[in-house]
Amino acid sequence: MIVERIVSKDDDKATVFFDNGEKLVLHKDVLYQSGLRKGDEISSDRFSALNLEETFYLIKQKAFRLLQRRIHTAKELHTKLRQKFPEEDLIKKCITELQQKGFINDREFALAFVSEKQKSKRWSRTRLKSEMIKRGIASEIITEVLNETFSAEKEENSARELAEKKYRQLIRKETDNKKLFQKMIMYLQSKGYDYEMSSEIVRGILRIDSD
């Protein structure tokens, strides 16, 4: 098939018309990289390849828009791209390219995630690990980041801060220590703290108060 004419569709795209009635709508970046000119003859395989290049371009643009909003793990980005594009091979190629260029880095994501969730929600080590697993972060990265940033002492201090804050809220309406104990334990466990640590901290707070 021979290129009959190339017509600019808007600032970003152009339509390539062929002598057999076929046409291609390509972003201008893809068109320029293809080197297509009026009068060029291309095979059906080249036509299909240009279609794939256009789709790959669209996938990358979508990926960049997602990454501009916030950092993503490779798994998160893959999931979101699959919601829009069925081309699994092109999505994998895009993610690999973004990883190689440093746009996706699961370790950096894990570091930022732990820092933000600890600061805003005071999540436990267990809760942080669970949430990072859901986001597809490798277990070795999770362990490394948690060991680097989240000591046992820090976890206990976070649990105590949460318990003390919850106690100040509850004591306004609840004076029964048994009910206070149950509610505070349930609250800490919802943040991922185990019963043993939660119980020890809550018993300490209630005992100090009763003295």
Helix (H, G, I), strand (E, B), or coil: what is residue 2?
strand
Instruction: Give pairs for 135-139: CB < 8 Å, separation 24+.
Output: 135/73, 135/75, 135/76, 135/109, 136/73, 136/74, 136/75, 136/76, 136/78, 136/106, 137/73, 137/75, 137/106, 137/109, 137/110, 138/106
Residue range 194-211: mean pLDDT, rounded: 80
Per cent of the chain over pLDDT 70 is 98
Q: If you average pLDDT over every residue of the chain, what do you get?
A: 91
41 pLDDT higher than 70 = yes
Residue 89: what pLDDT? 96
Name, in order, each residue with C-beta under 8 angstroms of 156's C-beta and a sequence gap of 6 or more: 197, 201
* Helix boundaries (H) for 43-194: 44-69, 74-82, 88-100, 106-120, 125-134, 139-149, 152-170, 177-190
Residue 211: what pLDDT? 43
Residue 97: what pLDDT? 96
- Whether pTM > 0.85 for this model: the answer is no
Per cent of the chain over pLDDT 90 is 74
Band (208; pLDDT cuts 50, 70, 90): low
154 pLDDT higher than 90 = no
Nearest residue to 204 (alpha-carbon basis) of 151, 175, 167, 152: 167
Scan for tokens 């991922």, then name that residue.
Answer: 192
Residue 79: what pLDDT? 96
